[in-house]
Amino acid sequence: MKRYALRQLVQLTVVVVGISILSFAILHVIGDPVLLLLPQNAGKEEYERYHKLLGLDKPVYVQYWKFASRALQGDFGKSWYTDTPAFKLVIDRMPPTLYLTTAGLVAALLIALPLGILAALKRHSFVDNLCTMLAVAGQAMPIFWLGIMLIIIFAVRLKALPASGYGTWQHFLMPAFTLGAFLAPITMRLVRSGVIEIMNMDYIRTARAKGFGERKVVVKHAFRNACIPVITVLGLQFGQLLGGAIVTETVFAWPGVATLTVDSIRNQDFPVVQCAVVLLALIIVSVNFLVDIVVGLIDPRIRVA
């Protein structure tokens, strides 16, 4: 178990470092931050001075090293537009996004698990295709359209939920459902294929031969084991969720880090973008790591693979 965990930890570190390099590379190589900061009529002297100030005269790997060493201490520099430390800006807005994505994942599971299992059990039938349609509906329907429709129905017409904002559990329901609908298709597809695979396995046949009722077979054996691939990939979905989170946060005026990152990219506020990307990656990878550990605990075969 320890060796497995260690291996996963190594991979986690490599991935985070890789992402930090990637984000650093994109931002520094493609745009010239000095040109963006200075007014157009600034002279060459000003340009040189700023260049030195930002440390851009040093070779790229030195810049990266400085960035990385500072980042490890939590110093991602100051936002170029508001002069507050980038780290503080990102951390302040991280919890709402994390809660939202978790709630979205839960919602996705609530939709996808029953649909996926049903579809797997009744393969190729009308029910199978219906489940696919329902699940795909959420993804194919543009997120903001779904979001605004929900607002119109539940907030405006029924006055049952607050239209937007953050604070109570009621504020969570619509955004979570919107995000969940976005994730459901992929999750359902995974559940379905996972269950199909397992249903064909020997131990299921054994269980049936033993005389267990179909229901017991499904719930006790198939379901439990189908969870493994689902949990594994859910960890990955966390990263893909960010796209859905951006639109959801905009529509529901959710004070999350997704909209902060989008705004910062538009502003070309590099320190904030870098900090957000690295921290998000760290979280995503840590989630994956935890998932891998949990799955390793459940199924010893994976540890040896």
Partner 1 sequence: MRRTLTLASTLLVLLALGWLTPADAQTKEDTLVYALQSDVDTWDPPNSVLREAIILGYHVFDHLAARDLKTRRVGPSLATSWKTIDDTTWEVKLRQGVKFHDGSPFTAKDVKASFERVLDPAKKMTARGNHAKIKSVEIVDDHTVRFKTDGPYPLFVERMTALVIHSEKVLREKPHEWVQENPIGTGPYKLVRWNRKQEHLLVRNDDYWGAKPTFKHVRIRIIPEQATQIAELISGGVDIIKAVPPDQMDVIDKSGQARTATSPILRTALLQLDQAARGGPNPFTDKRVRQAANLAVDADAIIKHVLNGLGDRTATAVNPMAFGWDPNLKPYKQDIDRAKKLLAEAGYPNGLDITFHTGPPVVEPAIQQTNDAIVADMAKAGFRVKQNYIGDNTVLVARIKEGKGGPMFNWSWGYYSVFDADAILYDVFKCGEAYAYYCNRELDDLIHAGRSTLDQKKRAETYVKAQKLLFDDAAYLYKWGLRGVWGISNRVEYQAPADEVDRMFLVTPRKK
Partner 2 sequence: MKTVAAGGEVALGARAAAPETARSRVNLRRLWRFKWGVAATIVLLLVVGSAILAPWIVPYSPLTVDIQHRLGPPAWMEGGTRAHLLGTDQIGRDLLSRVIYGGRVSLVIGTAAVLISSSIGVLLGLAAGYFAGRVDWSIMTLVNVMLTFPFVLLALAVIAVLGPSLLNMIAVLGVTDWPLYARVIRAETLALREREFVMAGRALGMSHLRIVFRQILPNLVSVIVVIATLQVARVIILESFLSFLGLGVQPPTPAWGNMLGEGRVYMLNSWWIATFPGLAIFVTTLAINLMGNALRDWLDPHMKV
List interacting residues with partner 1 (CB under 8 A): 38-41, 81-83, 89, 92, 95, 99, 102-103, 106, 148, 151-152, 155-156, 159, 162-169, 172, 224, 227, 250-253, 255, 259-260, 263, 266-267, 294, 298
Applying CB under 8 A, the residues found at the interface with partner 2 are: 11, 14-15, 18-19, 22-23, 26-27, 30-31, 124, 129, 132-133, 136-137, 139-145, 148-149, 152, 185, 189, 193, 197, 236, 239-240, 242-243, 246-247, 261-262, 265-266, 268, 273, 277, 280-281, 284-285, 288
67 binds, among partner 2, partner 1, none (CB under 5 to 8 A by kind): none
Query: 85 — phi, psi (to 5°)?
Result: -60, 135
Choose from partner 2, partner 1, none: what does 285 bind? Cβ within 5-8 Å by kind. Answer: partner 2
Shortest Cβ distance from residue 94 to partner 1 (Å)?
Answer: 12
The token duo for 171 is 């504020």
Question: Nearest approach, Cβ of 298 to partner 2 (angstroms)?
Answer: 20
Residue 100 interaction partner, one of partner 2, partner 1, none, beta carbon < 5-8 Å per kind: none
Q: Decide which of partner 2, partner 1, none touches 114; Cβ closer than 5 to 8 Å per partner kind.
A: none
Provide the minimum distance between the beta carbon of 17 and partner 1 in the complex, in angstroms, as a whole number. 29
> Bridge partners of 85?
78
Contact (CB, 8 A) for 120 and 195: yes
Residue 244 beta carbon to partner 2: minimum distance, rounded to whole angstroms: 9
* Partner whose binding site includes residue 246, from partner 2, partner 1, none (CB under 5 to 8 Å by kind): partner 2
Judged by CB, which is closer to partner 1: 90, or 242?
90
CA distances from 156 to 151, 163, 180, 202 (A): 7, 8, 22, 53
Which of 144, 126, 244, 145 minimizes the C-alpha distance to 185? 244
> Could you say which of partner 1, partner 2, none residue 209 binds, taking C-beta under 5 to 8 angstroms by partner kind?
none
Burial status of residue 252 (CB atoms within 10 A of its CB: 0-12, 13-18, 19 or more): buried
Task: List the single partner that 203 binds among partner 2, partner 1, none, CB under 5 to 8 Å by kind.
Answer: none
Which partner from the list partner 1, partner 2, none does 253 bind, CB cut-off 5 to 8 Å by kind?
partner 1
Q: Smallest distance from the beta carbon of 265 to partner 2, in angstroms?
A: 5
Of 131 and 251, the one with the shorter C-beta distance to partner 1 is: 251
Min dist. Cβ of residue 62 to partner 2 (A)? 23
Contact status, residue 277 vs residue 212, Cβ threshold 8 Å = no
Cβ(156)–Cβ(78) below 8 Å: no
Is 189 or 303 the residue whose CB approaches partner 2 more closely? 189
Distance of closest approach, residue 288 Cβ to partner 1, in angstroms? 15
